């Protein structure tokens, strides 16, 4: 983009993108739950393959609604949302979603919870079990594969949920405030792990958060939304190279972008 800010309602993609690069595309996407409750209004944007996009905005502005529309979990009211040029009408196997709560089955061990997506698609194979163990190791849970949720901390339970998401094999990840309930230290550690995982794969990620610093640290672009009815106010480009370290958040360049996003949000209050 030529500017770090993009006007609301304008479809956005990186300048070098071609049609084949676009993974998610929305055009005037709107969701109303009733005449009085319009959760999302007229959102238009493009997300390219491999992008990590953060979505920030005040509570009730339609961030989670947008994710659920992309996931095919709810029906749109008007407009369109496409994944790989196909209109989204139902859940897809190439899309995985992670929520703020880990939603683990208490009677299943960590690895058994991770294996749930494989179990739902058919008989579990030795390869599935191997992938599940590898996923748990990848999120830092080596030696905890056979622990039950009650034996794990909140942060460890979210790691299991992240491993389960990876087990789906989806290359589009939708993350709805996955670390919002965790303490700051655990949150930072999981941010680093998540960034390392997505940087090492070809995944495309859409990440909802209330934390502006977290949004900027993880993302290639930050989509900023207005209060309800939620509209796409601006898209702020994040120019920092990867890999990134937590020290980046202490730099003047990072603070400048953080102030920019904060000012955009403040202008709609």
Kindly report the CATH number that applies to the domain delimited by 1-94+172-269: 3.40.50.300
* Strand 86-87 to 78-83 pairing: antiparallel
Output the six-digit token pair for 128.
Answer: 């599935």
Residue 17 scores a pLDDT above 60: no
Q: Could you read off the pLDDT of 112-141 as tens digits, one per residue?
A: 999 999 988 888 899 999 999 999 999 999
Is residue 53 within 8 A of residue 223, CB to CB? The reply is: yes
CA-angle at 119, arms to 100 and 85, nearest 5°: 65
Is residue 77 within 8 A of residue 30, CB to CB? The reply is: yes
Confidence of residue 47 (pLDDT cuts 50, 70, 90): very high
Q: Could you read off the pLDDT of 189-208 as tens digits, one per residue?
A: 899 999 998 888 889 999 99
Q: What is the pLDDT of residue 229?
A: 87
Spatial CA neighbour of 224 closest among 17, 8, 1: 8
- Residue 75: phi and psi, rounded to 5, are -95, 140
Q: What pTM does this model have? A: 0.89
What are the angstrom distances between the C-alpha of 211 and each of 67, 76, 110? 17, 27, 28
Domain spans, the chain: 1-94+172-269, 104-169
| Average of per-residue pLDDT across 29-58 | 95
**What strands, in cross-sheet order, belong to the sheet with 52-56?**
95-98, 172-176, 204-208, 52-56, 221-225, 232-237
| Average of per-residue pLDDT across 217-242 | 95
Output the six-digit token pair for 98.
Answer: 């992670």
């Amino acid at each position: 983009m030529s500017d770090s800010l993009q006007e609301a309602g304008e479809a956005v993609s990186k300048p070098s993108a071609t049609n084949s690069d676009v993974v998610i595309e929305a055009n005037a996407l709107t969701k109303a739950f009733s005449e009085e409750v319009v959760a999302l209004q007229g959102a238009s944007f493009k997300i390219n393959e491999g992008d990590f996009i953060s979505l920030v905005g005040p509570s009730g502005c339609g961030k989670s609604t947008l994710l659920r529309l992309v996931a095919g979990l709810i029906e749109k009211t008007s407009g369109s949302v496409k994944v790989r040029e196909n209109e989204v009408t139902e859940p897809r196997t190439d899309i995985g979603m992670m929520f703020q709560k880990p939603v683990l089955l208490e009677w299943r061990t960590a690895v058994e919870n991770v294996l749930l997506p494989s179990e739902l698609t058919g008989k579990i194979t030795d390869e599935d079990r191997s992938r599940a163990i590898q996923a748990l190791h990848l999120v830092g849970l080596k030696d905890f594969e056979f622990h039950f949720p009650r034996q794990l901390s909140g942060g460890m339970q979210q790691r299991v949920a992240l491993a389960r998401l990876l087990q789906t094999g989806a290359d589009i990840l939708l993350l709805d405030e996955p670390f919002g309930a965790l303490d700051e230290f655990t949150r930072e550690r999981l941010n680093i792990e998540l960034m390392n995982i997505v940087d090492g794969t070809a995944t495309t990620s859409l990440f909802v958060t209330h934390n502006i610093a977290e949004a900027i640290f993880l993302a290639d672009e930050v989509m900023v939304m207005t209060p309800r009815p939620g509209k796409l106010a601006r898209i702020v480009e994040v120019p920092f190279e990867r890999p990134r370290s937590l020290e980046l958040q202490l730099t003047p360049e990072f603070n400048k972008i953080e102030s920019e996003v904060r000012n955009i949000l403040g202008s709609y209050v």
